[in-house]
Amino acid sequence: MDTPLTVPDLADATELSCDVLVIGGGTAGTMAALTAAERGADVLLLEKAHVRHSGALAMGMDGVNNAVVPGRAEPDDYVAEITRANDGLVDQSTVRQTATRGFAMVRRLESYGVKFEKDEHGEYAVRQVHRSGSYVLPMPEGKDVKKVLYRQLRRREMRERIRIENRVMPVRVLTHPDDGRAVGAAGFHTRTGEFVIVRAGAVILATGPCGRLGLPASGYLYGTYENPTNAGDGYAMAYHAGAALTGIECFQINPLIKDYNGPACAYVANPFGGYQVNRHGERFVESDYWSGQMMAEFAAELASDRGPVYLKLSHLPEETIGAVESILHTTERPTRGTFHENRGHDYRTHDIEMHISEIGLCGGHSASGVRVDDHARTTVPRLYAAGDLASVPHNYMIGAFVFGDLAGEDASRYRAYEGELDHEQLAAAHELVYRPLRNPDGPPQPQVEYKLRRFVNDYVAPPKTGAKLSLAVEAFDRMSTEIAGMGARTAHELMRCAEVSFIRDCAEMAARASLARTESRWGLYHERLDHPERDDTDWLHHLDLRKSPSGAMEFTARPVEPYVVPVPEFSPPGGPERLLGEVALVPVATAGARDAAPAALTPRPVAADAPAVVPASAPPHPRLLRLLSLVEDSPDLDALGPYLADADPAVRAAAVTALGETAPAGTGPVLAARLRDEAAPVRAAAAAALRELVEVLPAEPVLAEGLREALGVSDPAVRAAALDVLRALRLGDAGLYAGALADPSVEVRVQAVRALVSVDAVGELAGAGADPAREVRVAVARGLAAVRNPAPEPLAPLLDDPDPLVRGAALAALAGTGCPPAYAAGAGAALGDRAWQVRSGAATALRAATPGLAVPALAGALADPNADVRKAAVLSLLVHRAEPAARAALAGAADDADADVRAYASRAAR
């Protein structure tokens, strides 16, 4: 048996010092470090993994859920939307920070090289997912966001200010014994086991949510919806430092794919025409926002005879499904395509069965987190929280960046703490880390964690009752002893044992907070069967929890601050805070004496059927290893030159990828040259890097020349990428793009159409309407509505196209070009077409027609057998709702069998 680590002496600890300590190198932490350094602070960034690949963002992001882009949405509308989604319990000043600063953050990220979807004219392609407000901004290349951020951290000017310590895991925030302000942190190295102490002028917690709280239905400890490395570290550290946490009873629960720990990604699928249905194919979601109310509707449908529930994509055309696959199978969960392939499922023939995830704590997707103000300050002086850890409801990725920026800016005022550190706090942190080494043969972490999280599922997951929550508190108290007895032999096992202690802290917070709020709120997130009604009179209050001087968990009901943006549905009562103190447990009968604890569940044995021997993989190429080491120092083109010219295509491809990560001056032309490489992997890497860096590459003639030369390469993926970059950088003209319409590749011709739209070449676009490929003709129809001065006449040939998808797209385009009487008559006639896509397009076209022609036809379309046609008719009638006949038709649609049709029709009364 391996010899376990020895417990290091506290006096031998490694000591570090900084102005600003950032704990967590994910979304918020990276931005906090960059901003603090830009403001002149010396920053130390601690990450228990490696910053290059850490955090929920490391696997990519398919889009921004809350982009308030000027001209497309208003900050006040977004604030009101989030207030409604969170049942009125919102500090609007914090949400407003995301609403007002989010667009500037999008632009800042673009300056780093993050790519957001734009139309042919370079405008943001914001999509509408919810029934009110257009806030979703897709990120087709979102898999590379973390790589882009890491490149910023490794810029030479940043490296002078930001010290990164990977594999260091803090376990406690250190506070000053006199005034309680944050003065540093204590932790350990997860590879060597050495104890690490940090002195700091300010501390920023950016450790993400507590995703490893409930146990997934699969039973896998790490098969969670959220990043499983997010074990509630920051929640526990903030609590033990004396900070207030709030909304902990408001859980995160998400819809996900059945048997797979990934989201169904309706935010991606819905703008493309996907939607959620029950087993009868009926839309059932009434809620207007991705919230606890929506999860309650999901749960009710799943439990009824109308279940299971599916994400429906099979009705979509091939090119649309291909676009959805290109996003879903490369970002969020890159294993998703493999999962479906192994099941023999295809979006073209199978709808995707959905289920509901385990519970977690997350501010960014619900409301559970550390209480912060509008500058990310917690209730502990000089302690900040940002990202999913902070209680800024539905803050998502952009909110994490915004609050990381706010925290970094405010914290940069402080300089390193030079006084004495509290020995008692250091000793307690040391004991928390190393006690498993004193009992190396104790229960292993996976068994103890499984048991703990099984109790979370049994007693804490909704629907909740006071009795079950009280049993949970007793179980978590009892498990403190079992957790203290866990055994470990390696530094990695010490990390996992410390995480279990964090999970236990979060589980107790969740149970006690759920007991304290004696009402139901947020739909499924806090459904109390013994208190089934929402009580705005007593409970339109934040529920704060904190650690009392005696070490107990105590609660305060804090009134909601006066709204910045009025929301008629809610009227916060105001008044003073109510100190609730410790929560009382509900008496629960037992089989024996009352002081006998209920029997604990025994964890299920894990089947040991894995192969005993794993074949060794081939060792990496020595030059690849040298290249990877070189990338850490942000090499220039001269240093990368030998690798870019290496005889081995694997080395060249890796060098191209490294060039995309570091992006030194002169990168664009070099990447364009690699588009002509003889090896397909090198060309693919160059194309991906050019698309990723398109926002930061100078639009210089030498790059244009290289891209034009790439249009002659035999690889169609290269030609398509070259056209895409030429269009985005405004380096081409109508003649060049029109020439690409003769390309044998459909993908290239579609890119040529997009490029022609960007230069408003209507004549050339109209000529492409005779293309033999349906995908190209559909792109032409949409493009003719996207030019700066659209007119309906060029659409005429497409309105008679033999393909129903082309006719449908051309009709829908009339909503953007205008729909004069002759075209409106044609649209009215098309409402009788056999293809529902044509009928839907016709209903959309009538949005731009005169009311006298449009309203009668649209009213008749409300009887269409296809729900999507009726939905299109309702949306068009809303444009004409000033007409009494339109309002009458909409009133009749309020009882439609389809949830979407009903919901949109009801908006006529607003």
Q: What is the pLDDT of residue 266?
A: 65
Rounded to whole angstroms, how far apart are CA atoms 203 and 208? 15
459 DSSP assignment: I
- Taking a C-beta distance cutoff of 8 angstroms, is the pair 536, 522 a contact? no
Q: Is the peptide bond before 308 cis (omega within 30 degrees of 0)?
A: yes
Those residues of the chain that have pLDDT short of 70 are 1-2, 59-63, 128-133, 135, 140-143, 264-268, 288-289, 331-332, 589-621, 909-910
- Taking a C-beta distance cutoff of 8 angstroms, is the pair 230, 212 a contact? yes
Rounded to whole angstroms, how far apart are CA atoms 251 and 725? 43
- pTM to 2 decimal places: 0.84
List 203's β-bridge partners, or say none.
Answer: 21, 383
Rounded to whole angstroms, how far apart are CA atoms 884 and 889? 9
Q: Which residues contact 114 (CB under 8 A, 6 or more apart)?
A: 139, 144, 145, 148, 695
At 746, which helix (H) or strand (E)?
helix 746-758
- One DSSP character per residue, 190-233 reads TTT--EEEEEEEEEEE----B-SSSPPTT--TT--SS-TT-BSH
List 166's β-bridge partners, or say none.
Answer: 47
Residue 728 CA, chain-centre distance (Å), reads 26
Burial state string for 594-631 with b = 16 or more CB within 10 A and e = fewer than 16: eeeeeeeeebeeeeeeeeeeeeeeeeeeebbeebeebb
CA distances from 483 to 439, 449, 530, 552 (A): 11, 9, 32, 19
SS3 category, 189: strand
- Taking a C-beta distance cutoff of 8 angstroms, is the pair 706, 725 a contact? no
- One DSSP character per residue, 673-728 reads HHTT-SSHHHHHHHHHHHHHTTTTS---HHHHHHHHHHTTSS-HHHHHHHHHHHHH
What tokens were used for 901? 């049709």
The alpha-helical segments, DSSP class H, found in 113-204 are 145-153, 156-159
Q: Which residues contact 891 (CB under 8 A, 6 or more apart)?
A: 905, 908
Q: Is the peptide bond before 603 cis (omega within 30 degrees of 0)?
A: no
| HSE, side-chain direction, 13 A CA sphere, residue 11 | 0
Three-state SS for 354-407 is: EEECCCEECCCCCCCEECCCCCCECCCCCEEECHHHECCCCCHHHHHHHHHHHH
Q: Which residues contact 887 (CB under 8 A, 6 or more apart)?
A: 881, 908
Rounded to whole angstroms, how far apart are CA atoms 654 and 662? 12
Rounded to whole angstroms, how far apart are CA atoms 465 and 159? 52
Q: What is the largest CA-CA distance in the chain?
A: 89
| HSE, side-chain direction, 13 A CA sphere, residue 331 | 22
pLDDT digits (tens, 9 = 90+) for 414-447: 999 999 999 999 999 999 999 999 999 999 999 9
CA distances from 515 to 512, 531, 547, 555, 585 (A): 5, 10, 17, 11, 8
pLDDT digits (tens, 9 = 90+) for 65-93: 778 888 888 899 889 989 998 999 999 99
Q: Is the dihedral of CA 328, 330, 336, 340 positive or negative?
A: positive
φ, ψ of residue 545 to 5 degrees: the values are -125, 150
At 672, which helix (H) or strand (E)?
helix 667-674
